[in-house]
Amino acid sequence: MSRIIDSGLEEQSTLLCRMGELTHEIVALSIQGYLNGTNVHAKVQEMSETLLAMSNQVEDKTFELIARFQPVASDLRTIKSYMKIAYDFARYGRYALDISSISERLGGLKSCEGWIQRYVAEMSQKVLKMVRISIDALKSHNTKLAEAVSQTEKEVDEMYFGYLDKLVKDAQATNECTISSVLVVRYLERIADHATYIAEAVVYIATGKKLTLG
């Protein structure tokens, strides 16, 4: 038999899934703008503000559910996790906005050395893959899918530190390209971290187990 609180939890889940799709769109847009040297800052800013408003909605609904229905432990686990996931989604938007801001101020990758373009593009694809996995795992509460982010997260971390080492060794000089690329790969690494946090939250919702996937 369905409970009154179940409709509230379903509303939270639906809102989070909408946030998830928007996060994939905003991260992909900011990355594409940076890689291609196109200015997408205004659009990314608008989407980031929408994500923040949606995150606030999730938070408000969370307190409403707790106050009205006195949820049991399993419900509290879900409610708490949903609020955390909403925050992580909002952070996707914040880092996407940072990427578009850097691109607007310092330019994209078009004028960078070929190896830099290829490196950042490859790292971007891995991060977008993690974002997609985190969203799909949330929709289905699929723990195996959630745990699959772990290997890619390790690869992203290795690429981040490897890029810094390679830049020190191979870059001809410090210029707008090297400065912007260092900042952007850092933002990509942070997005990957938040994808991992979401995956951990999905496992917690589904099983009650707290895993560290990073």
HEC string of 121-155 equals HHHHHHHHHHHHHHHHHHHHCCHHHHHCHHHHHHH
Q: How confident is the model at residue 57 (pLDDT cuts 50, 70, 90)?
A: very high
Contact 39, 103 (CB under 8 A): yes
**What mean pLDDT is predicted for residues 87-107?**
94
Spatial separation of the C-alpha atoms in residues 38 and 141, rounded to whole Å: 36
Three-state SS at 98: helix
Instruction: Tell me the CB-side half-sphere exposure of residue 186, using CA atoms within 13 A.
Output: 9
* 163-206 confidence digits (pLDDT tens): 999 888 876 656 888 889 999 999 999 999 999 999 999 999 99
Mean pLDDT of the chain: 92
Structure tokens at 131: 């974002």
Domain residue spans of the chain: 4-207
pLDDT at 108 exceeding the cut of 90: no
Spatial separation of the C-alpha atoms in residues 124 and 129, rounded to whole Å: 9
Three-state SS at 105: helix
pLDDT at 40 exceeding the cut of 80: yes
CB atoms within 10 A of CB 204: 19
Q: How confident is the model at residue 125 (pLDDT cuts 50, 70, 90)?
A: very high
CATH code of the region 4-207: 1.20.58.220
pLDDT at 172: 65
pTM for this one?
0.91
pLDDT at 70: 84
CA nearest to 36, candidates 116, 134, 107, 139: 107
pLDDT at 99: 97
